Amino acid sequence: MSSLRRLAPRIAGLGIGLLALAGCANQYEFRTEAERVAVMDSFKNGKAILNCGVNCIVSWALVRGHAAQLYSQKNWQPLAEDVLKVGVSEDIAWFWLGAAAQGLRHYDAANHYYRIAGSIAATHPPGTLRCAESGTDTCYGINLLREIPVRLAALERSKHPNRHHPSRHTTRDRKSSGEETAKTSADRQPEADPAMSTDWIEPPPVTR
């Protein structure tokens, strides 16, 4: 009996270690340049997949803070690589992937990733797929349901710049009448309730 008692802490430690390892798997390791290029090509084309769940939670917890820093620094390429390496399917991860794509001017890809992030934030119950805005703030101060519609509107303006940039003569006329100021304010605010959007894209199934 005393031998079992002495072994109990070691057995418990082994169990904790195994659980930690189970949550430390990455989706990609980028062991070769060819692998990295292939993954980044998928990212640019809007075909990146984040489908890791519990097997990646420890890795994501270790990387998430660094990813938030890269986002605030607008360091888009390393941000995309950090998110893709771990591959966890969380709304903030998809959002950061969209921001990286937008920053690198892959606008169609950014649109796709933002809509997946919005789907998780708007329609999924609190849990492993959603970042937390209260307690330990794993959304890092970003209100996704407010930010994503604004970014989607900006993407639309990037695709069709002539629709939102009138001629100089028209701009002067509108500024003199105060219409330009009203238009700018309207552009900044989404008209519809983002949580009620029907244009979200469901995330791929979590398989790991």
| DSSP secondary structure letters along 103-172 | HTT-HHHHHHHHHHHHHHHHHSPSSTTS--SSSS-TTTT--HHHHHHHHHHHHHHHH-GGGT---HHHHH
Tell whether the model's pLDDT for residue 168 goes beyond 90.
no
Total domains in the chain come to 1
In a domain, 185, yes or no: yes
Confidence of residue 70 (pLDDT cuts 50, 70, 90): very high
- If you average pLDDT over every residue of the chain, what do you get? 78
* Average confidence (pLDDT) over 29-34: 88
Tell me if residue 190 falls in helix, strand or coil.
coil
Task: Give the pLDDT confidence score for residue 24 in this predicted structure.
Answer: 58
Task: Give the pLDDT confidence score for residue 11 in this predicted structure.
Answer: 33
- The residue that leads in pLDDT, 158 or 3, is 158
In a domain, 87, yes or no: yes
Task: Give the pLDDT confidence score for residue 128 in this predicted structure.
Answer: 66
* Average confidence (pLDDT) over 124-132: 81
Residue entry with tokens 């390429």: 77
* Bridge partners for 52 per DSSP: 88
Task: Give the pLDDT confidence score for residue 118 in this predicted structure.
Answer: 96
Task: Give the pLDDT confidence score for residue 204 in this predicted structure.
Answer: 92
- The residue that leads in pLDDT, 68 or 158, is 68
Task: Give the pLDDT confidence score for residue 149 in this predicted structure.
Answer: 95
Tell whether the model's pLDDT for residue 163 goes beyond 90.
no
Task: Give the pLDDT confidence score for residue 124 in this predicted structure.
Answer: 86
Tell whether the model's pLDDT for residue 129 goes beyond 50.
yes
Query: Apex CA 172: angle with CA 169 and CA 176, to 5°?
Result: 145
Task: Give the pLDDT confidence score for residue 66 in this predicted structure.
Answer: 97
In a domain, 18, yes or no: no
In a domain, 10, yes or no: no
Task: Give the pLDDT confidence score for residue 198 in this predicted structure.
Answer: 59
- The residue that leads in pLDDT, 183 or 139, is 139
In a domain, 38, yes or no: yes
- The residue that leads in pLDDT, 180 or 122, is 122
- The residue that leads in pLDDT, 2 or 156, is 156
In a domain, 202, yes or no: no
In a domain, 19, yes or no: no
Boundaries of domain holding 29: 24-196
* Bridge partners for 163 per DSSP: none
Task: Give the pLDDT confidence score for residue 37 in this predicted structure.
Answer: 94
In a domain, 106, yes or no: yes
Residue 147's contacts (CB-CB under 8 Å, 6 or more residues apart) are: 95
Tell me if residue 167 falls in helix, strand or coil.
coil
Task: Give the pLDDT confidence score for residue 197 in this predicted structure.
Answer: 54
